[in-house]
Structure 1
Amino acid sequence: MSTAVLALSSAEWKLLMRNKTVALSATLMPLLLGLLLGTNVPGSADVRIWSATLTMQLLAVQGLTIYFTVTAALTSRREDLYLKRLRSGEQSAAAILAGLLSPAVVLGFGQMVVLFGLSVGLGAPLPANPLALVLAVIPGIALAVAAGAATSGRTSTSEQAQITTLPWLLVLLGSAMWASMSDSPTVVLLPGGAFGDLVHRAMSGVDLLGGLPAFGVLVAWIVLLGLLARTWFRWEPRA
């Protein structure tokens, strides 16, 4: 990571922590929600229940810590002309975005590690196949970043992000809940369902090759949202 990216990341972290709404949604809420979910699982729960719980914990972090923070941060930096000033400098667009988005990604990844450790401490089994869990988490993070960049292009102010992010959060968490209650193969076509399918296979170790369609679905969603982000993203304030 270059010096410029590190400097941007440090400055962005300080800006994020000054915004009470973003700081609360990115730090306290995901951990509290994850703790609530984990402590409500019975001690004798089987792998399927823990898989569903872990899915919701991880998606809560991806949705609140990464997706919402990326949306609000990019919108706020655009509206105060910070993005425009950065874009007129020597740094490339990739370096600028890497510096601005890495704090949310690093924070989210750290929270997912904490919540996973908490779940194991509360009785969750260790993954039968850790690689499958990685194949769920990494695309999940990429999906949250792409969705945040796309949503910021349709968001006028950082305060409005509390509204514009709701549809994707409902799709993400709602499809995961639906997948935990249904055996229908169609739920894997939705992002939360595909993510939950990979987490369950990681925890149970059952039919790992059968998780390739779910992984493909996540990649397809990343590509779609990446294209939308490229189309909608703005470096200057919306008219």
Structure 2
Amino acid sequence: MRHSTSHLTSRRPAGGRTPLSVRAARDWAWYTRGQFLLSWRVFWRNRRSMTIGFALPVVLDLVVAAPLRGREIGGLNAAGYTGVGFVGLAMATSFVHLLTAVVARREELILKRLRGTQVPPSAILAGQLGVGAAVLMLQALVLGGVAVLWFHAPPPAHPVLFLLALALGCLVFCALALALSGPTPGTEAAPMVALPVLLLCMFGAGVFTPVSSLPALLRAPARVLPLEQVVRCLRTAWFGRSFGGETWNGAPLPRLDLLHTWAAAAPGLLTAAAWAAAALMLTRRSFRWEPRRA
């Protein structure tokens, strides 16, 4: 019995102290929380970031989708179809805000000063990215509520798949924002870098209208865009149907069971994951903590 007690005692940390790995994880979470709360307050106090980063997809959804309530796409409510697409557009607007915010913090030497403290660099970025993810989730709730309650779309058929596509899309555009922040020369140039990406996502990724309705020359490039793949996965998860070939006057899309729904979404998820991996690799090479003039 004495041997057993001494064996158990010997496995405890000396002096009852918390293991180093646990303390490090707890400190990291604390620093990340602090960065998140700071970035969260800055986001809602900045009128430009609040307008572009949050309100723009919601307002466009109300303006564009509302007139489509009497029409159908692939046998589905066109307003609900477009409303789910605007959840994807929210990822692009989150990209615009994150790119601008990171470049501004770098040029104002905030990132440099933070990196000189005991705050881990990963916690600095995680707090900033967490705000983008939280705002995106809030937008998804608002846009999804509008689609169901006002546009009379059905609730999500496969919520787990929808959340997976949402998380993967968020990762793609957060990584792209960090990657493109490096070569962006300054705060004034950030909108010029972000705007082409936003416009390409708005008009070339099937948010407003099916990709099959685009000119034939543009369809193949549009299907390579990460947002087109993510939007297709979001719609597949929401409606339980396979998207990609739907048209305004086409036949109704057949319903899919759970297995075939995941199979239909798999190519889009894999393509988005490849984009995320490439963006993360580019981030490691191009991200800067100090102003380019330095």
Normalised TM-score (structure 1): 0.89
The structure-2 alpha-carbon separation of the partners of 1:186 and 1:203, relative to structure 1 and needing over 3 Å to count, comes to: farther
Q: Give the conservation status (yes or no) of the 8 Å contact 1:71–1:152.
A: yes
Worse-matched range after superposition: 80-89 or 194-203: 194-203
3-state secondary structure, aligned to 2:69: coil
Gaps of 5+ in 1: none
Worse-matched range after superposition: 19-28 or 136-145: 19-28
- How much does 1:176 deviate? 1.8
Q: Give the conservation status (yes or no) of the 8 Å contact 1:38–1:53.
A: yes
Q: Give the conservation status (yes or no) of the 8 Å contact 2:172–2:275.
A: yes
Rounded Cα–Cα distance in structure 1 between residues aligned with 2:79 and 2:233: 13
Rounded Cα–Cα distance in structure 1 between residues aligned with 2:42 and 2:78: 38
- How much does 1:186 deviate? 7.0
Normalised TM-score (structure 2): 0.73
Gaps of 5+ in 2: 1-27, 214-218, 241-255
How big is each residue's C-alpha offset from its partner over 1:153-191, in whole Å with a ceiling of 9 and x where there is no partner?
Answer: 122233322110123223333332288131977754321
Over aligned residue pairs, what C-alpha RMSD do you find? 2.3
Q: Give the conservation status (yes or no) of the 8 Å contact 1:74–1:149.
A: yes
Worse-matched range after superposition: 228-237 or 156-165: 156-165
Bigger fraction of residues in helix:
1
Task: Indicate which of 114, 118, 134 corresponds to 1:86.
Answer: 114
Rounded Cα–Cα distance in structure 1 between residues aligned with 2:226 and 2:165: 11
3-state secondary structure, aligned to 1:189: coil
3-state secondary structure, aligned to 1:182: helix
What residue in structure 1 maps to residue 125 of structure 2?
97
The structure-2 alpha-carbon separation of the partners of 1:186 and 1:67, relative to structure 1 and needing over 3 Å to count, comes to: closer
Worse-matched range after superposition: 175-184 or 89-98: 175-184
Task: Indicate which of 143, 161, 175 corresponds to 1:115.
Answer: 143
Task: Indicate which of 211, 235, 240 corresponds to 1:181.
Answer: 211
Aligned pairs (5 A) from 1:194-209 = 194-205=229-240, 206=256, 207-208=260-261, 209=263
What residue in structure 2 maps to residue 217 of structure 1?
271
**Identical columns (%):** 27
What residue in structure 2 maps to residue 232 of structure 1?
286
How big is each residue's C-alpha offset from its partner over 1:99-140, in whole Å with a ceiling of 9 and x where there is no partner?
Answer: 122222211210111111111012112222222212321111
Aligned residues: 238
What residue in structure 2 maps to residue 32 of structure 1?
59
- How much does 1:44 deviate? 5.6
3-state secondary structure, aligned to 2:291: coil
The structure-2 alpha-carbon separation of the partners of 1:236 and 1:142, relative to structure 1 and needing over 3 Å to count, comes to: same
3-state secondary structure, aligned to 1:89: coil
3-state secondary structure, aligned to 2:206: helix
What residue in structure 2 maps to residue 20 of structure 1?
47
Rounded Cα–Cα distance in structure 1 between residues aligned with 2:46 and 2:156: 36
- How much does 1:202 deviate? 1.5
Q: Give the conservation status (yes or no) of the 8 Å contact 2:70–2:77.
A: no
Task: Indicate which of 53, 56, 81 corresponds to 2:82.
Answer: 53
Worse-matched range after superposition: 200-209 or 50-59: 50-59
Aligned pairs (5 A) from 1:163-174 = 163-174=192-203
Q: Give the conservation status (yes or no) of the 8 Å contact 1:5–1:95.
A: yes
Task: Indicate which of 52, 65, 68 corresponds to 1:41.
Answer: 68
Rounded Cα–Cα distance in structure 2 between residues aligned with 1:73 and 1:33: 23
Rounded Cα–Cα distance in structure 2 between residues aligned with 1:93 and 1:118: 38
Report the structure number with the largest CA radius of gyration: 2
Worse-matched range after superposition: 85-94 or 172-181: 172-181
